[in-house]
Amino acid sequence: MDYKSSGVDIDAGHELVRRIKGLARSTFTPGVLSEIGSFGGLFRLDPGAFTDPVLVASADGVGTKLKVAFLANRHDTVGEDLVNHCVNDILVQGARPLFFLDYLATGRLAPDVAEQVVAGIARGCRANGCALLGGETAEMPGFYAAGEYDLAGFIVGAVDRARIVNGATLQPGDALVGLPSSGLHTNGYSLARRIVFEELKLAVDSILPGIGISVGDALLAVHRSYLGVLEPLLAEPDLVRGLAHITGGGITDNLPRVFPPGVGARIDRRAWVVPALFELLGQAGHVPVEDMYRSFNMGIGLVIACRAADAGRVMATLEGMGEAPRVIGELIPGERSVRYVI
């Protein structure tokens, strides 16, 4: 017996590293001091870029959106999803990304598939000015189903201590501005897959009724990054007082995470048009409205909290960048919770 006959192909791993070295190098920024293949990645923080730098780190995955990628045999978008999700998670504290690491685990390594995944990661890193500093590819036979893999990402960014966005100054009367999502992003897929594949009995290449695109195209739409559109706002001191990335738990659970004690929110559901995909999922699955707003982003991927007097300036800046922001509510006295106006 040998390792390969047990299901671990070391040569396939070396082949993958050979293929992805160029992808990783394409993301390198001046701070990168190491090559792919080292035991650890080296990164030098530019001492002139910050006055009092604070590192901000986060880790996340893509969830069961991967199941859709397996069905569609399309693997070049989930890596970009992963990077953008992680970027947004540190962005809401005011941090810009510095570097990213990935973890790809599978039962039997398929270099072609893994290369597609890493290509998506590299594309996301380049778009966000973030270096793909390293990662891990684990081949674990008997642990994952044939043709499947899991994916996780780890990001480190930095923000000047004086520019940290933590919601501490939020108070009743502040305005809440919502930015559109690009689809389901990376949350709610266990429910969405059950509705689409079991209730509607559609295939991944079926056209979604009333939507006009395939199931695969709709469900694999890339989770967008909000870094580019937020940078001008974050450059102005105290313009943005709080930020919430609307992920698992929806607006209902994510928005209160940034509130100080004694502050809640009133959200007007009529302030934006819920995209047709969410309407279809809710109707086809007979999902209660409350569950929809806790399972999905419902078309709002990020919420900005600012003074009511600054809302016009925030909206104008975003609209000038081609965005379609909406004032979706306001902060109110009370518990850390969200109340909806229907």
128 and 189, same domain (yes or no): no
Q: Let me know if residue 40 belongs to a domain.
A: yes
144 and 190, same domain (yes or no): no
232 and 123, same domain (yes or no): no
Q: What is the CATH number of the domain that holds 253?
A: 3.90.650.10
- What pLDDT sits at residue 7? 65
149 and 265, same domain (yes or no): no
3-state secondary structure of 99: strand
Tokens 């947004």: give the residue: 88
- What pLDDT sits at residue 4? 67
154 and 179, same domain (yes or no): no
- What pLDDT sits at residue 17? 78
Q: Let me know if residue 157 belongs to a domain.
A: yes
The rounded distance, in Å, linking the Cα atoms of 107 and 145 is: 7
185 and 80, same domain (yes or no): no
Given 134, 163, 192, the domain boundary residue is 163
- What single letter denotes the amino acid at residue 93? Q
213 and 277, same domain (yes or no): yes
Q: Let me know if residue 169 belongs to a domain.
A: no
Tally of domains in the chain: 2
Tokens 């973890």: give the residue: 103
Tokens 């504290």: give the residue: 93
Q: What is the CATH number of the domain that holds 8?
A: 3.30.1330.10
47 and 180, same domain (yes or no): no
Report phi then psi at 35, rounded to 5.
-110, 160
9 and 138, same domain (yes or no): yes
Q: Let me know if residue 44 belongs to a domain.
A: yes
180 and 325, same domain (yes or no): yes
Supply 180's token pair: 């559109």
Q: What is the pTM of this model?
A: 0.95
- What pLDDT sits at residue 18? 80
Q: Let me know if residue 170 belongs to a domain.
A: no
The rounded distance, in Å, linking the Cα atoms of 109 and 336 is: 46
Q: Let me know if residue 292 belongs to a domain.
A: yes
- What pLDDT sits at residue 204? 97
183 and 287, same domain (yes or no): yes
| Domain carrying residue 188 | 175-341
Given 163, 189, 215, the domain boundary residue is 163
- What pLDDT sits at residue 6? 59
Given 163, 183, 204, the domain boundary residue is 163
The rounded distance, in Å, linking the Cα atoms of 262 and 123 is: 42
In the chain, which ranges are continuous DSSP H helix?
A: 10-25, 65-72, 78-91, 111-127, 189-193, 215-219, 227-234, 250-254, 276-284, 289-295, 311-320
**Parts of the chain with a pLDDT under 50:** none
Q: Let me know if residue 168 belongs to a domain.
A: no
110 and 190, same domain (yes or no): no
